[in-house]
Amino acid sequence: MADDCIAHQPCPDCGSSDALAIYQDHSYCFSCSTRTVFTEQHPRPQPVQTRLHPVGPMRDFVSTPWEAPYRGLDTTTLEQYGISRTDGGITVFQYRDSSGKRCANKYRNADKSRVWWDGDVSAVSWLS
């Protein structure tokens, strides 16, 4: 199926570290919205595995209850998907392995200028 994402990798147009989604017949960057249809002149690139920063052991954190919707999601949905916020305003996204066990966290600071991970990112179920 053409809509199945093969890989995420750095975007050559905007420099995003992983916003370029590679599909069977095209690529799309979720950061700069560049869409490229693969042809003989523009073949599909080989997936690139990158790790910008080493990933450390997963830490526990103290979360603050949500008082208002976040990105259009109500508090029940945020809790269901393991999206929380620390006292310092850092948004935490919990990722799970194929058995449902939390295996990694992705963090985003309040002004969205920095994103980092901890835990075993390779065990996240959507990566396998």
- Beta-sheet strands, E only, within 40-125: 63-64, 83-86, 91-96, 102-108, 115-119
pLDDT for 32 equals 93
pLDDT for 4 equals 79
CB 117 within 8 A of CB 107: yes
Residues 39 and 73 grouped into a single domain: no
The helices-and-strands tally (H runs, E runs) of the chain is 1, 9
Residues 67 and 38 grouped into a single domain: no
Q: How many domains does the chain have?
A: 2
Residue 27, domain CATH: 2.20.25.10
Q: Tell me whether residue 56 is in a domain.
A: no
Domain coverage including residue 5? 1-50
Residue 117, domain CATH: 2.20.25.180
Written as tens digits, the pLDDT of the chain (128 aa) is: 456 788 888 888 888 777 888 888 999 999 899 999 999 988 888 766 655 444 566 777 777 777 778 888 888 888 888 888 888 888 999 888 888 888 888 999 988 888 888 888 878 877 54
Q: Tell me whether residue 55 is in a domain.
A: no
